[in-house]
Structure 1
Amino acid sequence: MSLVKPNRPRFTDVEGLAAMVCQGDSFGVGGHHFARLPVALLRAIARSGIKDLRYVCWAGGLPLELLLEANAVAEIDLCFSSLDIFGLPPRFRAAAESGALPVRDWTALAMIQALRAAQQNLPSMPFQLPDGSDMLARVPGARCRPDPISGAATGFIPPLRLDTFVTHAQRADESGNVQIIGPRALDFAMAGAARQVLVTVEEIVPVGALRLDGRQSILTRNQVSAIALAPGGAYPASCLPFYVTDYQKLSEAFAARETPLSHNLRLPSEGMPAPVQDAAKVRAETVIAVPSLAPEKKTPSVDEIIAARIAAELDNESFASAGAVSPLANVAYRLAKATHAPDMIIATMSCGHLDIQPSPMILSLIESLDCETAVTHAGGDDTYSTYYQAGAVTHEIVGAAQVNRRGQVNTIALRKPSGGLIRLPGQGGMADVANMHRDYLLYIPRHSVQSLVDEVEIASSARGLLTPAEREPMGYRTGQALVFTDLCVFRLDRISRELIVIETMPGVKRQQIRDATGFAVTFDDDCREVPLPSRDTLAVLRNRIDPLGLRRLEFVSAKERGALIAEILAADRAMVGRCIAAQRSYIAS
Structure 2
Amino acid sequence: MRTAGRSEYCVIACAEAWRENGEVLASPMGLIPSIGARLAKRTFSPGLLLTDGEAMLVGLDGTAEGWLPYRRHLTMVTGGRRHVMMGASQIDRHGNQNISCIGDWHRPARQLLGVRGAPVNTLNNPVSYWVPRHSTRTFVERVDMVCGVGYDNAAAAGPSATRYHRIPRVVSDLGVFDFETPDRAMRIVSLHPGVGLDQVREATGFDLAVTGEVPCTRDPTPDELRLIRTVIDPAGLREREVAS
Matched, 1:407 2:111: no
Residues 413 and 298 (structure 1), Cα distance of their counterparts in 2 relative to 1, 3 Å cut:
same
Matched, 1:387 2:54: no
- 1:174-194 CA distances to partner (integer Å, 9 max, x unpaired)? xxxxxxxxxxxxxxxxxxxxx
Which letter does structure 1 place at the counterpart of 2:76? Y
Is contact 1:413-1:458 (8 Å) kept?
yes
**Residue equivalent to 1:440:** 127
**Following the alignment from structure 1 to structure 2, what is the Cα–Cα distance between the partners of residues 426 and 444?**
17
Is contact 1:502-1:526 (8 Å) kept?
no
- 1:209-233 CA distances to partner (integer Å, 9 max, x unpaired)? xxxxxxxxxxxxxxxxxxxxxxxxx
Is contact 1:452-1:518 (8 Å) kept?
yes
Residues 237-276 of structure 1 aligned to structure 2 (within 5 Å): none
The DSSP-based 3-state class of the residue aligned with 1:527 is: coil
Matched, 1:536 2:223: yes
**Residue equivalent to 1:492:** 179
**Residue equivalent to 1:272:** none
Which runs of no fewer than 5 residues in structure 2 stay unpaired?
Answer: none
**Residue equivalent to 1:378:** 69
Which letter does structure 2 place at the counterpart of 1:482? R
**Following the alignment from structure 2 to structure 1, what is the Cα–Cα distance between the partners of residues 20 and 133?**
27
Is contact 1:318-1:345 (8 Å) kept?
yes
Which letter does structure 2 place at the counterpart of 1:508? V
Choose 420-429 or 325-334, whichever is displaced more. Answer: 420-429
**Following the alignment from structure 1 to structure 2, what is the Cα–Cα distance between the partners of residues 396 and 526?**
29
Please report the RMSD computed on the Cα atoms of aligned residues, expressed in angstroms.
2.7
Residues 470 and 501 (structure 1), Cα distance of their counterparts in 2 relative to 1, 3 Å cut:
farther
Matched, 1:348 2:46: no
The DSSP-based 3-state class of the residue aligned with 2:171 is: strand
- 1:7-45 CA distances to partner (integer Å, 9 max, x unpaired)? xxxxxxxxxxxxxxxxxxxxxxxxxxxxxxxxxxxxxxx
**Residue equivalent to 1:503:** 190
Residues 343 and 459 (structure 1), Cα distance of their counterparts in 2 relative to 1, 3 Å cut:
same
**Residue equivalent to 1:320:** 25
**Residue equivalent to 1:357:** 59
**CA deviation after TM superposition for structure 1 residue 526, in Å:** 5.3
Q: Pick one of 335, 338, 351 that aligns with 2:42.
A: 338
Residues 453 and 334 (structure 1), Cα distance of their counterparts in 2 relative to 1, 3 Å cut:
same
The DSSP-based 3-state class of the residue aligned with 1:397 is: strand
Is contact 2:11-2:36 (8 Å) kept?
yes
Which runs of no fewer than 5 residues in structure 1 stay unpaired?
Answer: 1-296, 360-368, 557-589
Which letter does structure 1 place at the counterpart of 2:81? A
Residues 321 and 339 (structure 1), Cα distance of their counterparts in 2 relative to 1, 3 Å cut:
closer
**CA deviation after TM superposition for structure 1 residue 320, in Å:** 3.4
**Residue equivalent to 1:512:** 199
Moved over 6 A (4+): none
Which letter does structure 1 place at the counterpart of 2:34? N
Residues 487 and 473 (structure 1), Cα distance of their counterparts in 2 relative to 1, 3 Å cut:
closer
**Following the alignment from structure 1 to structure 2, what is the Cα–Cα distance between the partners of residues 342 and 382?**
21
Which letter does structure 2 place at the counterpart of 1:489? V
**Residue equivalent to 2:9:** 305
**Following the alignment from structure 2 to structure 1, what is the Cα–Cα distance between the partners of residues 90 and 36?**
22
Percent identical pairs in the alignment equals 24
**CA deviation after TM superposition for structure 1 residue 316, in Å:** 6.2
TM-score (norm 1): 0.37
Which letter does structure 2 place at the counterpart of 1:511? D
TM-score (norm 2): 0.85
**Residue equivalent to 2:237:** 550
**Which has the higher Rg, Structure 1 or Structure 2?**
1
**Following the alignment from structure 1 to structure 2, what is the Cα–Cα distance between the partners of residues 499 and 457?**
18
Which letter does structure 2 place at the counterpart of 1:452? F
